[in-house]
Structure 1
C-alpha cells in the first residue's frame, strides 16, 4: 500500500519527474501556465519562481531544508504565487531568469530562485538559500512591496530593460566574414588558458566542453598544428582516465570538482553523453586510439542499459544521489568503493586493479571512499606486474565485470525518465558518428529506431516538433534547440544510411524553422516560435556552452543543406547569420566555438562527395571511416533521384565517385584511394 501523503499540490498533474518530486511539498506549487500567471495578476501577488532539474544535487538540498518545511511553506503560501519550473522542459524560461540572476549577482546556478512582479518581471534572485535566511528575505521583500511598491516596480522595470539589452544583437550587413588568419590569432590567445598536463582549463571545477574540443580537434587537423593536437588528445585521454568517466558502467558525469577529472558531481546527463560519443568517435577516426573506441562503446552501453525507453526514445538523466545501505541519500553512493570491498570482490587480482585504478592516496575521495581513476599507460602497469598488456586488459575487464555485478545490487540513482527532443537529437548524432567510425551495425539500428520514434511521436500536426514526451504524451511545443539538434541528427543519419527520407525530413524541418522562428533583422532565429505566448523577452541564443547554441547548430545545418539543396537560398541566410555573428565571435571565441568551426569550414575547401552506382555502400564506408570533417556525402545506386547532387550522374555498370567543391566537380574516379587523395590533398 502506498503511504498517504499529508500534502498534495497542483504539480501532481504534471509529468516532469522534477516537478513531481515537489508535488507533496506543503508549498502550494503551480506549474508555469496561463492560470497561475493570471492568478498572480488578479490577486496582485508577487510570483516566486523556483527553477531546477531532477539531477540537481543542491535543488534536492533546498527542497529538504525549505520546501518540505511547514514554516517555510506558510510564508510562501501567504504572500506569493509559487511556480516550479523544470529547466530542462522549459529552457526558454530558464534563459531569461538565469540572465536576470547573473545581472543581479554576477553569478548563476541552480536551484534558481527569482521573485518577480505579477507580470513576470524579476527584481530579486538567489541560488541555494538556507531556511531562516529564506524566510527572512521573503518577509522583507513582501513588506517592501506593500510599503513601497514603486521601489520594487522601478527596479523590475530597469531589470526588464537590461534583460532585453544584453540579448540585443545588431544586424551585420556591413561586416565581412572572418578570415582564416584571424582564427589562428584567436586560437593562439585562447590556448594560454589550456592545462597541457591534465587537459581542460587551468582551473577547477573542470567541465568537459565537447563543443570546444570538437572545434580544436578540427583546427589542429586542418592546420597540422601539433601543439593543439597534443592538447586535445591529452584532454580526451585524461577525461577517459578520470573518475568523471564511469569505468564500470560507461558514460560520463556532469563535471569534476577538481583539476584532475577525479571526483565528479555524479549526475549523468543524456546531452553530455550524446556529445561526447560523437567527439570520441571522431577522435578515434583521427587517431585510431583504442581508448577512444572503448569510451564510445561503453558510453553507448550506458545509454542502452540505463536511458533507453521501450519506445526507443532516450531518457534525460540519472541523479547524482542514491541511497546508502542504511538508507541515507548521498551523492555518489552508487559509484564509490571502499578498499576492503574491492579486496573481497577481486581477491588475487586486487593488487593489479589497485595499481591500475589508483586505490591509493591519488584515488581517495573522502571517508574511505575511492573513485576509480587512471593515471598512467597500461603498458607500464603490465611491466610492473610482469604480464603482457593483453593479459592486463583481460584481468581489468574481468574485475570490472565483477564490480558491475556487485554494483547492480545497490540502490540505483533516481532516473529522470522524461524524453527531450533536443537531447535525443544530440544522442542521435552521437550514434550515427559511432556507426560511421566504429562500423558497428547495431549503432545504426539504434539510431534509426530513435529517429523513427522522434518523427512518429514528437511531431505535431502542423509539421513542427514537440519538446517533451512522457507517458505517451507531449505537452510543450519545441524550441529552436529541438529543431536544430534533430535536423543535425537526421542529416548525419542520411550520410550513414543514404535513405533520402531522413534528408527530406531535415529539409522540411528547416523550412519550418525559417517560417516560424526567424528574426528578420539579424538573420538569426529566436529560441521560441513566433506562434508561442510571449515571455518578457524573445531570446536569441547564440553563445556555445557545453551544448552548442541553437543558432550555431542551425548555421551548421544551413551550411550542409545548402550543399544538398543549392537552389533553396540556405546559403544566403547562412551568410547573413555569419556576418551578424562576427563581432561576438571575434570578441569571445571560446564561447562561440561551434561558430568558429563553421567559420573555418567556410573559409577553406569544403567538399561534396557523390558516390553513385551498385557498389556505393562499400565505397562510402571505406571513405567515411576516415576523419573528413570538411566533406558531406551523397550516394545512391538509383538512376533517378530528386536530390540535386545525384541527378544525371548514373553510369551503367560503374560506381563513380565525384569530388566537388561548391558545385564544381573533378573528373569522377572509381578507386577510393584516388577520391581520398582529391579530398585530403586540397583540405
Structure 2
C-alpha cells in the first residue's frame, strides 16, 4: 500500500494517491528490501519540478505501470529538498555511470542500497521496458549487478585522495586568471554562462561584485556582472508584475523562464543586487530589490515568520499559465491603441511572443517598472483572480538563512529600516522554530515522525547570516548563535578521515547512507564547506580564535588547486580567498561604548566598511584598522582614525 499519506512534504503528498506502493525513505523501507530480497527503486524529485509532474501523470498514476513496480520493487519516494543527503549520493552515482543527472531522478538499487542503474524522466513505454529489463537482470545476472553496484558505491564516497593540498603562502596570485576565465565564458550580450539554459548562479555574481575596483574594471568583471543583472531584471525570468525570479531561463536571453520560483534563488540574488546597487546606484537594481522583497513577503512568508520553499511552475496542469498573457486579455484591460509604449516596452504581440499565442512580459531595454506602475497594477489585479500555482510549504533552514543574509544586505544598500526589521523578524523566527538550545538545528520546521536534523549547509548558511546580522546590529545574541552553530557543526560533521580539513554534508553519526559525501563545489547555491570556511574566518577575526582561522586556511588549501582549474564551479571559494587573503578588505575594530557615547555611529557607517565591535583594545584606544592579517597602530580619536583611513585609501 501507498504509505505517503502521513508525510508533510508537499511533493510526497502529491504522490499519496498513486497506485504505486510508495514509501518514504527510512529504515522500514530499507529493511523490507533486505527481508524480501527485492530491488529498491528510489525516485527523487521536488514539488516545483515540472517533469516530475509529467512522469507522475504518465507513469506513476497508471495502474499497469504501478502493478509492475509493486510486483518487483520496494518503491521509495524522496523529496530532494527534504533529504538532500540522499539525493546527493544517488545523483553522484548516476553521473558516475556516465548518465545525465536531473530530476526526476530514478535510481535502481540492490537490496543493500547500492546503485547500479538509473536515469531521469522516462515516458511510459520506455519506463515499463526498463522495469522489466532491470528485474530480469536481477534474476539472471545478479552477480554482475552486485559487482557493478559495489563499484559505484565505492566510487561515490568522498575522501582526501580527491584533493591536492596547496600552500597558499607560496602560491602566486591566481584571482586575476580565474576572473579572466569566468568572464571569458560569459555571454557578452545577455550575461550569464554562454549557453542555454541559463541559471543565475548567485555565488559567481557575488564573486564578480567582490573584486577591488581597479581589478574589476581592468578584467571587466563589473561589466560582466552588470550585463547579467540588467538583462535578468528586464527578462521574463523576473516577474515584472509581482517581483521575484524564476529558477532559470530555458533560452540564452533570460526571456522564457522555467516558471518555478525558489526561495534559495531569490534570497541569494538580494545579496547580489544589493552589492551591485551599492557600487553603481543603478535604480533598476533598487527596484529589483524592492519588488523581490515584496514578492517574498506577500507570497512565501508564513504566519510563523519563516518563508516557504517555492512556487510551482504549473497551474491547472500547464506550465507558465499563471504568468503569461493572451494579447486579447491585455488589450481588454489596457487598450493597445491608447498605450502603444506599454506594449513596446513589454514586448506584447498580437500573436504572442511565446507558446500557444501567449505573451511573457519582457523588456528589451532597461526601463523601470515604476514608469508603468498603473498599467502593471491592473494586470496584477487580473492575475490575482487566476488559479495560483501550488506552494511548497516546507520551511528549510539554509534557504531561510540565504534570505536573512539577503535582507541584511538589502537593508544596508537601501538604508531601509523596514527591510532591516524584516531581517530581525526572520532571525527571531529561525531561532524559535529551527534552532535548539544546545547549538544544533533542524533542517526544516515541520516533519513526519522523527525530525530531520540539520545538514552542513543549514549550519553554515545560518551561522553566516547571523554573523552578518551581528555586524549591522552589534547585538551579541546573534554572534553567540553563530558561535554555537559553528562549534556544533565542527562536532557533528568532521570527517572520520584523519587530516582531512573538509566536513561531511550529513552528520557523521548517520547510519542510513552508503557513502560519505563532502559538498565542495559551488553551483546554484554555495557549497556548504565554503560557507563554513567563511564562518570560521569571521569567528576567528571577531573573537580572535586562532584555531578557527587556521582551520579555514586548511580548508582553502585543500580546495584551491581544484578552484584554479575550474573557477566557475568554485566561485564562492575564490571570493573568500580573494576577500580574505589575496585582496583583503580593510575593516575597523572599535570600542562600541565609546562610539555610541561620542555619537559617531552614523559617521562610522558612512565609511562603508565592515565594522567590528571588540572589547580587547589597548587602554584608551578606541579604533583599530586591519587589512587581512595586518593591523595599523590603534588610535584614540575619530580624527586619528580618519587620518589613517585617508592614508590607507
TM norm structure 2 = 0.94
| 2:521 aligned residue | 543
Deviation for aligned residue 1:105: 3.3
Deviates more, 1:443-452 or 1:354-363: 354-363
Report how far residue 665 of structure 1 moved: 3.6
> How big is each residue's C-alpha offset from its partner over 1:141-191, in whole Å with a ceiling of 9 and x where there is no partner?
1111112210111111111122126x6545655633585632212222332
- Structure 1: which 5+ runs fail to align? 1-7, 324-328, 379-391, 636-644
2:325 to 299, 312, 337: 337
Aligned pair partner of 1:376 in 361, 365, 378:
365
Name the CA distance, whole Å, in 1 between partners of 2:73 and 2:550. 49
Matches within 5 A, 1:583-598: 583-598=561-576
Q: Give the SS at the match of 1:634.
A: strand
Matched, 1:296 2:272: no
For the Cα contact (< 8 Å) 2:178–2:564, is it kept in 1? yes
Query: Helix, strand or coil: the match of 1:225?
Result: helix
Asked if the contact 1:252–1:268 (Cα under 8 Å) also holds between the matched residues in 2, the reply is yes
Instruction: Answer whether contact 2:2 2:22 (CA < 8 A) is retained.
Output: yes
Deviation sequence 1:615-646 (CA, Å, 0-9, x none) = 54975555557765xxx3224xxxxxxxxx23
Distance 1:344 1:677 in 2: 64
**1:533-682 maps to which residues of 2 (within 5 A)?**
533-601=511-579, 602-611=581-590, 612-613=592-593, 616=596, 619-620=600-601, 623-624=604-605, 628=609, 632-635=610-613, 645-648=614-617, 657-661=623-627, 662=629, 664-668=631-635, 682=648
Deviation string, structure 1 residues 282-314 (Cα, Å, up to 9, x no partner): 111111111111101110101100110111111
Structure-to-structure mapping, 1:29-108, within 5 angstroms: 29-108=22-101
The 5 Å alignment of 1:15-414 reads 15-164=8-157, 169=161, 175-177=167-169, 179=171, 181-219=173-211, 221=213, 223-226=215-218, 227-323=220-316, 329-347=317-335, 350-360=339-349, 364-378=353-367, 395-414=371-390
Corresponding residue for residue 505 of structure 2: 527
Counterpart Cα distance in 2 of 1:681 and 1:473: 61
Contact 1:316 1:419 in 2 (8 A): yes
CA contact (8 A) 1:464 1:512 kept: yes
Superposition RMSD on alpha carbons, in Å?
2.5
Render the CA deviation track for 1:347-374: whole Å, top value 9, x for unaligned. 3653121121111499711221111111
* In 2: Cα distance, 1:190 partner to 1:443 partner: 33
Secondary structure of the residue aligned to 1:419 is coil
Aligned residues: 641
Cα offset for 1:242? 0.5
Cα distance in structure 1, aligned partners of 2:333 and 2:618 = 62
Q: Is the 8 A contact 1:357 1:363 kept in 2?
A: no
Could you tell me whether the CA contact under 8 Å between 2:587 and 2:612 is conserved in 1?
Answer: yes
Say which SS state the counterpart of residue 48 (structure 1) adopts. Answer: strand
Report the CA distance between 1:442 and its aligned residue. Answer: 1.7
Contact kept? 1:109, 1:127, Cα under 8 Å:
yes
When residues 267 and 619 of structure 1 are mapped into structure 2, their CA distance, relative to the original with a 3 A threshold, is: farther
Contact 2:306 2:400 (8 Å CA) reproduced: yes
Alpha-carbon distance in 1 for matches of 2:619, 2:298: 44
CA–CA separation in structure 1 for the residues paired with 2:444 and 2:412:
28
Q: How does 1:410-489 map to 2 (within 5 A)?
A: 410-460=386-436, 462-470=438-446, 475-489=451-465
